[in-house]
Amino acid sequence: MLGRSLASISPKSPPIEEIIGSGGGETKGTQRLRRALHEYGWRKHKFEVQRTIDGIARESISHEVDHIARFTAGVVALEIEWNNKDPFFDRDLENYKRLHADGAISLGGLITRGVSVQDQMRSMVFRFASDRGINDTTDLTRIGLNPTRRQLADYSRRQRGEATFAQAWAASFVQDKFGAATTHWRKLEDRVRRGVGNPCPLLLIGLPASLVIFGEPAAVVEQLIEEGESSVE
């Protein structure tokens, strides 16, 4: 039942332009996924856990989860960590552990960047740069990016070898936005192997690089981004 429920949720794949322009917040693709989950009944929920001693309330703890679905067999919690700081995995897994121990959830789920996305991110960004003819900082401005002085210095440093501007920018961009210390599959796998969140049963999903699409017409890209503009409560 859970598999069929998740399989029926199919928001549109993110165009590469969306990833390039995501800045420090959520990508519009993540927001579209949240909206699709919400429409299928996966709603945000705050669990309130109160402990009592001899009928007297002693402690109240709350745990907010972005997506909760209730099934006949139990309750499933789900978080999306496409591009956050990797300690958020610790937070999510520890929340699941406590909620499962209290009988509030039956299973905890996490969606993050898969291995192929992490490994291919630089080549995907470089492909975007090549397709768009990005050869200097003026071209970055043309597509709506405004690099800082630090970033400009990093581009120059990376070009001291044989790297082209596009290669230097792609490497710098990925290190800034999708570095090793952000949420991706290997960081999640490391924590699970160490037992973080144990013994809560887990469903872990790593989104693949094949999800990212190239060559969409500008009007289609604009429509997809607009669909992800408003947040879901």
- Give domain limits for the chain: 42-114+184-233, 120-181
CA angle 82, 88, 91 (to 5 degrees): 135
Confidence of residue 153 (pLDDT cuts 50, 70, 90): very high
Name the residue with tokens 């492909």.
Answer: 127
Measured torsion, CA atoms of residues 1, 78, 117, 143, in degrees rounded to the nearest 10? 120
Asked whether the beta carbons of 12 and 22 are under 8 A apart, the reply is no
Tokens standing for 15? 């165009």
- How far is 22 from 31, CA to CA, in rounded Å? 11
Mean pLDDT of the chain: 89
What is the chain's percent helix, strand, coil content, to nearest 5? 45, 25, 30
User: 1-5, 109-113, 174-178: which has the minimum mean pLDDT?
Assistant: 1-5
Looking at the predicted structure, is the pLDDT value of residue 4 above 50? Answer: no
- Per residue in 10-56, pLDDT (tens digit) is 557 889 998 898 655 567 888 889 999 999 999 999 998 888 888 78
Looking at the predicted structure, is the pLDDT value of residue 228 above 90? Answer: no
Q: Is the dihedral of CA 124, 126, 131, 134 positive or negative?
A: positive
- How far is 20 from 125, CA to CA, in rounded Å? 7
For the structural domain made of 42-114+184-233, what CATH number should be given?
Answer: 3.40.1350
Asked whether the beta carbons of 66 and 123 are under 8 A apart, the reply is no
Looking at the predicted structure, is the pLDDT value of residue 60 above 90? Answer: no
Counting Cβ atoms within 10 Å, is residue 69 exposed (0-12), middle (13-18) or buried (19+)?
Answer: buried
- Per residue in 193-216, pLDDT (tens digit) is 999 999 999 999 999 999 999 988
Give me the helices (H) in the chain, please. Answer: 2-7, 16-20, 28-39, 87-101, 115-132, 137-142, 149-158, 165-177, 185-193, 218-227
Q: Tell me what pLDDT residue 230 has.
A: 56
